[in-house]
Structure 1
Amino acid sequence: MSEEDRSRLYAWFREHTDEPLAEYLMSCLAPAPLSDLATKTDLAGIDKRFERVDQRFDALFALREADRTEAAALREQDRAQAAALREQDRAERKSDLRSIKAHHYTVIGFIVALFVANLTIL
């Protein structure tokens, strides 16, 4: 039945009955020609296609999870390397600080010795 025929039939139902009954009667009729409606075989084919799509999505999700796991492992490795570099820098700064302090005390000692020597000369 064409859309034009459906519209005329609906209008006729509304003229001869009330609108809710016309709506109900139209809902009982197929909205398209029966040859255009999907059959169980069509739906089974669609289900198979969806199964294949689901399998592909499952494979993609598995790849994504593997990538996330790999990325997390790389982040942990990077964090461990950064922590090791920080510890190395701290150790180098401690040794640098010791040598700076020793040099500082040597200079201060030399200045004090010069000051005392200058006082004894005067």
Structure 2
Amino acid sequence: MSEQDRSRLYDWWCEHADEALAEYAMSCLSPVPLPDLATKEDLRDVKADVREVKEDLRQVKSDVARVDAKVDALAVRMDEKFDRVLKLHEADSETAGKRHKLLVGAAIVLAAEIVAAEAGWLRWFTDLLASAI
């Protein structure tokens, strides 16, 4: 019978009879086997295990803090890169807008030159026809 069973039995005897009878009944039972009793060595082992678990927990917390710091540093670097890319994009957009205006202006000038040349050729041709008639 384990120590827990003995404790439950004692409580039951106390509820259904008096405490003196419960103590007498318990004294008539065989003693608790040694494996069910906690020894000082068992308690030392448990305390050592608790210390080890606490040390492991401190190590894990330290690792988590280190990873959090790395994540925060990475977030800052990503924000800086995003800002730099955004500025480059704005500069590229501005340059593209200027280039577009320049090309449109060049196309208009070229079209005007072509129209002027065509008008000159038509004038020459009409003058030639007029002189032939």
| Cα distance between partner residues in 2 of 1:50 and 1:100 | 73
**Shift of residue 84 of structure 1?**
0.5
| Alpha-carbon distance, 1:73 to partner | 1.0
Equivalent residue in structure 2 for 1:40, among 30, 39, 43: 43
Do structure 1's residue 94 and structure 2's residue 121 form an aligned pair? Answer: no
Partner secondary structure for residue 75 of structure 2: helix
Q: Which has the larger radius of gyration?
A: 2
Matched ranges for 1:24-103 at <5 A: 39-103=42-106
Percent identity over the alignment? Answer: 13
**What's the TM-score, normalizing by structure 1?**
0.68
Amino acid at match of 1:49: E
- Structure 1 counterpart of 2:115, which letter? V
- Kindly state the Cα deviation for residue 96 of structure 1 after the two structures are TM-superposed: 0.7
CA distance in 2, matches of 1:113, 1:105: 12
The unaligned stretches of length 5 or more in structure 1 are 1-27
Root-mean-square deviation (CA, aligned residues, Å) is 2.3
**What TM-score, normalized to structure 2?**
0.63
- Deviation of 1:101 (Å): 1.0
- Describe the superposition over 1:82-108 as per-residue Cα deviations: whole angstroms up to 9, x where unpaired: 100000000100111111111111110
Between the two proteins, the alignment pairs up a number of residues equal to 92
Give the equivalent residue in structure 1 for 2:109.
Answer: 106
- Structure-2 separation of matches of 1:41 and 1:110: 102
Query: What one-letter code is carried by the residue in structure 2 that aligns with 1:102?
Result: G
| Superimposed CA distance per residue, residues 36-79 of structure 1 (whole angstroms, 9 cap, x where no aligned partner) | xx701100011111111111110000001111111111111111
